[in-house]
Structure 1
């Protein structure tokens, strides 16, 4: 990895604040006429330091060039148009043209999308890309479209890891001694509770203060956000567990899409695919840089080996039935098969 990437990240991410809703999405200004400039608004929940933003920026530049300036993307970072839930709903309604949004909110609008919450479904970015580029990604695209959202491309959000200030986490039993801030995901919250963890639900903006004041011992997030939000300043141990993967979609309002010309649609699709490739490579680099930076900051880091991962994975299988009930047998079986997931 080039060190310059790491330094760029260090400069930008340390200024990252909480990504709260600042404004609501206005009515879309998209027009389909060939003779006029098409201006589309793109919502991104994180800042201009992030791979998500860089992807949107690359997408905008490519579109501008290939359309001879007739398609413009106006990017709104830092949650200016709302949080991910608000932006997803705005895309559904057509009051926001595009959102680069993570899968963390999908199941709130389409419960079957909870198949993406399966812990240890994939173990690395290579496996994740293969999964989302195949039949699973296609089926999830159909579910989104049925909810008024057209996905133009899949890319990466991040894998989740564990940090805490109590002890190294090397086996499932180690979590029983840790008071953990848990995410909104019901599957993960229930999993931590099953392991005997004292699980504390908490909004993202409250995590740093809670760690600082020892209200909780640890937290669960992706490496990029864990580093960006400076959680490592009040943590001693990092476990690279990759226990849950989250993609993002280049989500386009289907009601807006219906107003576009075939040429505009073709350009948007082809350039979105190129931007997604840029984003996925950037996420890989940022993920690695974040982990190394936290190690350099003094966190004792544990990389789970095959046997350790197997032990953790075994603890999650009871939750597969709950997800199957919501997602249905057909989709559940497809996801497990394509992911090469083997129930223990």
Structure 2
């Protein structure tokens, strides 16, 4: 009986390891064809543009591959958060993820480019940078680190908000305690407008704004609205001074095992999902802006910058670009500015 029990436990453990290990992305269909299973992990809710696009991709790649690729989406950090997802991609326990740019910066310093203030003229310019030479250079950096960089997805341009003096001109920020992510670029940006940089985890921002630990913040409208920062901020300035986005990356081991014809299917579905995600992101931003302007419950005043005011900001921020040459690369900054 003991031998039988030991044998059963051994078989069970072996089956479990095979099911959970690096080869878990391959199984067989009813007709014997290989089915490649993909775990797509992300940290936002399913009803956000990124969440919707992940589901769109899962459906579309299944259709285009005739069921040979099956994607299981795990939203809201159900499987793993973005701080640990890179090691899970390396292990092939996760095959696909879409971390924010800030998560790449610690091991790919060139990704600090996305934090450089006022480097993107508008959304059209941004997407030309992403989909052009600069975007490919940055993908190549990630590919060299042992991942497969696929497409860039939007989170949105950042706006200033505060419960002190509205930040319309650079001088308005002087002395205000500004919450920022951990970033050398954002620290220099904040110091340039003589505000006081305060690095805080995103989950602590609401209470910090509420208690006066910080006075101001910078966020895309989706973060600002969905986290209800309008409850503790009196004004929002549509500055579009910075940008937040995501890079969809795949496990290198998974990608090497995927047949070439299915790689092309994968890329096609991802391209369609990218277009869909960017459209959804733009729609959401307009909806949230309308709510912030017209919904009395927000109680916030929304300010739009004039061309003259925006130029004042741009001139100031361009003057600090040399501080970022060693970090980001002068050539990369100039290529971005010169992208047509």
TM-score after normalising by structure 2: 0.87
Aligned to 2:324: 323
Deviation string, structure 1 residues 171-191 (Cα, Å, up to 9, x no partner) = 000001422222222211222
Aligned to 1:13: none
Hey, what's the Cα distance between the residues in 2 that align with 1:81 and 1:306?
A: 45
Aligned to 2:83: 85
Shift, 1:228, TM fit:
0.5
Shift, 1:268, TM fit:
0.6
Hey, what's the Cα distance between the residues in 2 that align with 1:165 and 1:326?
A: 33
3-state DSSP class of the match of 1:42?
strand
Hey, what's the Cα distance between the residues in 2 that align with 1:176 and 1:248?
A: 31
Deviation string, structure 1 residues 242-296 (Cα, Å, up to 9, x no partner) = 1112332221112220111112111110000000000000000111222222222
Shift, 1:48, TM fit:
1.0
Hey, what's the Cα distance between the residues in 2 that align with 1:207 and 1:227?
A: 13
Deviation string, structure 1 residues 12-35 (Cα, Å, up to 9, x no partner) = xxxxxxxxxxxxxx6442238882
Hey, what's the Cα distance between the residues in 2 that align with 1:89 and 1:273?
A: 25
> Of 205, 210, 219, which aligns to 1:212?
210
3-state DSSP class of the match of 1:206?
helix
- Give 4+ residue runs of structure 1 displaced > 4 Å after superposition: none
Farther-moved stretch of structure 1 (201-210 vs 27-36):
27-36
Q: Which consecutive unaligned segments of at least 5 residues does structure 1 have?
A: 1-25
Deviation string, structure 1 residues 30-79 (Cα, Å, up to 9, x no partner) = 23888222110011111111110100100111111122222111111112
1:16-35 alignment runs, 5 A limit: 27-28=21-22, 29-31=24-26, 35=33
1:1-344 alignment runs, 5 A limit: 27-28=21-22, 29-31=24-26, 35-295=33-293, 296=295, 297-338=298-339
State which structure, 1 or 2, has the greater radius of gyration over its C-alpha atoms: 2
Q: Superposition RMSD on alpha carbons, in Å?
A: 1.9
Q: Is the 8 A contact 2:110 2:327 kept in 1?
A: yes
Shift, 1:91, TM fit:
2.4
3-state DSSP class of the match of 1:108?
coil
Aligned to 1:21: none
Q: Is the 8 A contact 1:151 1:252 kept in 2?
A: yes
Hey, what's the Cα distance between the residues in 2 that align with 1:30 and 1:52?
A: 23
Change in Cα spacing, 1:32 to 1:335, as seen in structure 2 (3 Å) is farther
Change in Cα spacing, 1:229 to 1:307, as seen in structure 2 (3 Å) is same
Hey, what's the Cα distance between the residues in 2 that align with 1:292 and 1:285?
A: 11
Hey, what's the Cα distance between the residues in 2 that align with 1:56 and 1:142?
A: 23
3-state DSSP class of the match of 1:215?
coil
Hey, what's the Cα distance between the residues in 1 that align with 2:104 and 2:323?
A: 17
Shift, 1:326, TM fit:
2.6
TM-score after normalising by structure 1: 0.86
